[in-house]
Amino acid sequence: MDSGQAVGLVPQLRRALMHSRVVTVDVGGKEGKISTDNFRANNLDTLSFRGPMTSLISVALQRLTTEDNAPEVSFIRGYPGFGKTGLSRELTGIGPALAEAIFASLIALLYIPIE
């Protein structure tokens, strides 16, 4: 969903009969410097791209929560961290097997149990 779609969603959320919440699950808390010369973050590698784009998402969500937009709508942003989801269980071949072997001990230290 881009920012235009989110802004278009706000009037519908304001008319909701029950609690209105928008939950964004991404890399909240991993913001970085925004370059005013390169808002689109052109020519940045993945790790360099994450910080500025996360900051822009933060700014957009903050703008949506201002009083004139939707004070009655809750905007929740989370970064869940690592989890044992089983998403890679169907991957086959030497690449996924090597990656699992290399990162197994690290992931065991970092993952958050799913309850």
Give tens-digit pLDDT for 51-110: 888 888 888 888 877 756 677 788 888 777 666 667 677 778 888 888 878 877 777 777
Q: Which residue type is seen at 71?
A: P
Tokens of 27: 């890399």
* Beta carbons of 106 and 81 less than 8 angstroms apart: no
pLDDT given for residue 114 in this prediction? 60
Task: Encode pLDDT of 7-60 as tens digits.
Answer: 677 788 778 877 778 888 887 778 888 888 887 778 888 778 888 888 888 888
Residue 1 pLDDT exceeds 60: no
Per-position DSSP letters for 15-71, written without gaps between them: T-SS-EEEEEES-TT------TT-TT-TT--HHHHHHHHHHHHHHHHHHHTSTTT-T
